[in-house]
A and B are shown apart, each in its own frame.
Chain A
């Protein structure tokens, strides 16, 4: 057994994470090897001393001081949501067509009128109530599928499909989870510009947008549609991370003419 293995087993045994096989190996080793026995005793001393130092109760009055300071201070800073003003600021101030904002605003107004006249309808493919879009349910003619990705972590599932026509790219994201979770999209802001975002579903949750970075926090089953404009004919990847209690899971979806492998 080499030194690194001995060290690992010694630590694992004292840490309480060793396997029964490792415990048996250590017992045999300690019987035969005085150096390993001395090392074990050294480590055991460390564990015992640390246990003796123990944890301390916080000083009396600390909690009330904290709460007094909290009450006297400013309220929590609200996250920059993707509200009307935020979308307007992000889309309007870029060197890109301001029509995108006009389009989104027009679509929202159209939706309101549509909802008033026709009431709530249902998406054909997702079975979700449509409450937030006037855009077509499927890519319009001429769009070519360029990428797709499916990610799952615990109860959270995300399916992404990217389609493209010329410089226009659409990313359709189906997010499903019984509990809130996070989806992060990272892309090169020099190559791709987010021109619009809409969604359908019960509640879109919080949304944050920074150049090259979009964070979505769906609650329940939400279908998002993202509209990008590409600066070049070449496709650039979008990295997608889902964050749930099961931990982060990452994947990449393409936006160019070569579809990524499933």
Chain B
């Protein structure tokens, strides 16, 4: 969807056009779901968060600033939902229990899938701030400039967080047996 089309769809959706909003959902559903999935590490939670994000976005469309990019606004809502979810979860469920449970799933017999799971689990060991940097760059393929916009920090800080996150991730992966071939 071009920027012009996006602006038009947002404008139509602000007027209550469900069809226009459906097009925006189709365009950004994958992004929101993957961001939520990598941030919270649970598919059911990611699904719930994605649904909540779009509902919140729809209801708040009136306050959306058309001078800004819709995608940045949506990323920001998604990140906030994820961080709220993580804060709420921290109070009643230790992260390690989730990881142990997830490790027992049968599809882990498949080697490639297991490697992917190790990465998912390794991501959850990072702080939300560092995890956010990795997810935006490596999964959602945002440029440093776009990340700066979404995260609300200068590009220099974005790069610094990425360096730190990758260094930590390298250590975690090494401990979990994933090394350079």
B87–chain A nearest beta-carbon distance, Å: 24
B interface: dominant SS: helix
A125 within 8 A of B: no
B16 touches A70 (CB 8 A): no
Q: Which residues of A contact B120 (CB under 8 A)?
A: 53
List residues 1-49 of chain B with CB under 8 A from any CB of chain A. 3, 7, 13-14, 16, 18, 21-22, 25-26, 29-30, 33-34, 37, 43, 47
B159–chain A nearest beta-carbon distance, Å: 7
B58 touches A63 (CB 8 A): no
B15–chain A nearest beta-carbon distance, Å: 8
Shortest beta-carbon contacts, A-B, top 5: A182-B67, A243-B67, A76-B61, A41-B180, A58-B33
A186 within 8 A of B: no
A59 touches B116 (CB 8 A): no
List residues 74-102 of chain A with CB under 8 A from any CB of chain B. 74-79
A70 touches B21 (CB 8 A): yes
Q: Name which of A27-35, A43-51, A252-260 contacts chain B.
A: A43-51
Q: Which residues of B contact A69 (CB under 8 A)?
A: 51, 55
A56 touches B51 (CB 8 A): no
B138 within 8 A of A: yes
B67 touches A50 (CB 8 A): no
Question: Interface residues, chain B, CB within 8 Å of chain A?
Answer: 3, 7, 13-14, 16, 18, 21-22, 25-26, 29-30, 33-34, 37, 43, 47, 50-51, 54-55, 58-63, 65-69, 112, 115-116, 118-120, 122, 134, 137-140, 144, 159, 162-163, 166-167, 169-170, 173-174, 178-180
A84–chain B nearest beta-carbon distance, Å: 18
7 A-B residue pairings within 8 Å (CB atoms): A50-B139, A52-B112, A59-B33, A63-B29, A69-B51, A70-B21, A182-B66
Q: Which residues of B contact A77 (CB under 8 A)?
A: 59-63
A122 within 8 A of B: no
Q: Which residues of A contact B21 (CB under 8 A)?
A: 67, 70
Question: Interface residues, chain A, CB within 8 Å of chain B?
Answer: 7-8, 11, 15, 17, 41-47, 49-59, 62-63, 65-67, 69-71, 73-79, 180-182, 206, 215, 217, 243-245
CB-contact partner of B115 in A8, A47, A52, A67, under 8 A: A52
Closest residue on chain A to residue B16 by CB atoms: A75
B119 touches A53 (CB 8 A): yes
Q: Which residues of B contact A44 (CB under 8 A)?
A: 180
Q: Which residues of A contact B116 (CB under 8 A)?
A: 52-54
A45 touches B30 (CB 8 A): no
Q: How far is the CA of A91 from the CA of B46 in the complex (A)?
A: 45
Q: A46-B170, A76-B13 are in contact. Are A58 and B68 (CB under 8 A)?
A: no
B178 touches A49 (CB 8 A): yes
Closest residue on chain B to residue A183 by CB atoms: B67
